[in-house]
């Protein structure tokens, strides 16, 4: 029988959180560019160890990490680039264009950058060389985040506040067709979403979806069959968004952000840690 996941810890409340990831024995939390920017916590006691600065940043949209190259990747839609920080906190950046948003790293250790306004997933080498563009099908509007499966297919979540359709879809490796889909008209029922914003995938390729305005995280099979709620609305204070799944330690890190009345601008945030 499926049960909801246990809350283990909450990292300190502060400015909004625009990304969370893990690397080796540390948890990285991305805050606005005019704050501490990247807070670094240990994964055992969750004590703050240090803060990192991203030089020349203009704003942040997501953060991910690569265990092979031991580095962080941070998308900057205003400077239209991806910033990198290595294990010694050395910073570089490379251009993306087209408003980069969601980030993930695939099995080849390449960086996938979701560009919603042009409906593309761009694949870059770890050094920032553009390897290919994958154009998303026409009926996937405003994609937020994409993750590549071992089959080569992509899981994509899409739907802004004022869009009619909010879904999670699996698309083919070349991007031409939708293979599986869950969702449709925006709503709060089990089969609906209201801004499905961020994804995580475990070793079995089960899919975690942060459903922002419905204030929940849901779990799906690899073919996008509904499994259950991982995090219900009573487990978060505000709106869940960016996520990171630490498969080895079985921890799900969920950014929980407070929004102003319009719901479009975040004013505060924290990270909630769940056992999965």
From residue 70, give the alpha-carbon distance in Å to each of 5, 129, 192.
29, 18, 37
Specify the pTM: 0.94
Distance separating alpha carbons of residues 216 and 231, to the nearest angstrom: 5
**Residue 142 tokens, joined:** 């405003």
DSSP 135: E
Is pLDDT above 90 for 6?
no
Tens digit of pLDDT for each residue in 165-217?
999 999 999 998 999 999 999 888 888 999 999 999 999 999 999 999 999 99
Tokens 């993750």, residue?
147
Tens digit of pLDDT for each residue in 79-135?
999 999 998 889 999 999 899 999 999 999 999 999 999 999 999 999 999 999 999
Walk me through the domains of the chain, giving residue ranges and CATH numbers: 6-275 (2.120.10.30)
Distance separating alpha carbons of residues 140 and 178, to the nearest angstrom: 9
On whether the CB atoms of residues 70 and 83 are closer than 8 A, the answer is: no
Q: Higher confidence at residue 113 or residue 231? A: 113
The distance in angstroms from the start CA to the end CA of the chain is 14
């Amino acid at each position: 029988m499926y049960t909801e996941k246990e809350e283990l810890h909450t990292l300190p409340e502060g400015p909004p959180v625009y990304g969370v990831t893990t690397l080796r024995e540390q948890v990285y939390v991305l805050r606005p560019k005019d704050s501490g920017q990247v807070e670094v916590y240990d994964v055992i006691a969750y004590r703050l160890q240090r803060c990192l600065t991203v030089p020349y940043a203009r704003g942040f949209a997501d953060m991910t990490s690569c265990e092979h190259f031991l580095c962080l990747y941070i998308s900057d839609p205003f400077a239209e680039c991806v910033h990198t920080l290595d294990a010694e906190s050395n910073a570089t950046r490379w251009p993306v264009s087209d408003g980069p948003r969601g980030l993930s790293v695939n099995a080849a250790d390449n960086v996938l950058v979701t560009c919603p306004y042009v409906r593309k997933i761009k694949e870059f080498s770890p050094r920032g060389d553009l390897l290919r563009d994958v154009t998303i099908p026409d009926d996937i509007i405003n994609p937020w985040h994409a993750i590549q499966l071992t089959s080569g297919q992509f899981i994509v979540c899409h739907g802004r506040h004022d869009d009619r359709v909010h879904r999670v879809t699996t698309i083919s490796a070349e991007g031409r067709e939708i293979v599986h889909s869950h969702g449709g008209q925006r709503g709060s029922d089990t089969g609906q979403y209201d801004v499905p914003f961020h994804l995580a995938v475990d070793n079995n390729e089960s899919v975690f979806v942060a459903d922002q305005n419905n204030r929940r995280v849901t779990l799906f099979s690899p073919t996008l069959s509904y499994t259950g709620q991982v995090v219900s609305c009573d487990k978060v204070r505000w709106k869940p968004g960016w996520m990171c799944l630490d498969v080895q330690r079985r921890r799900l890190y969920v950014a929980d952000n407070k929004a102003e009345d319009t719901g479009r601008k975040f004013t505060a945030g924290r990270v909630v840690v769940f056992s999965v």
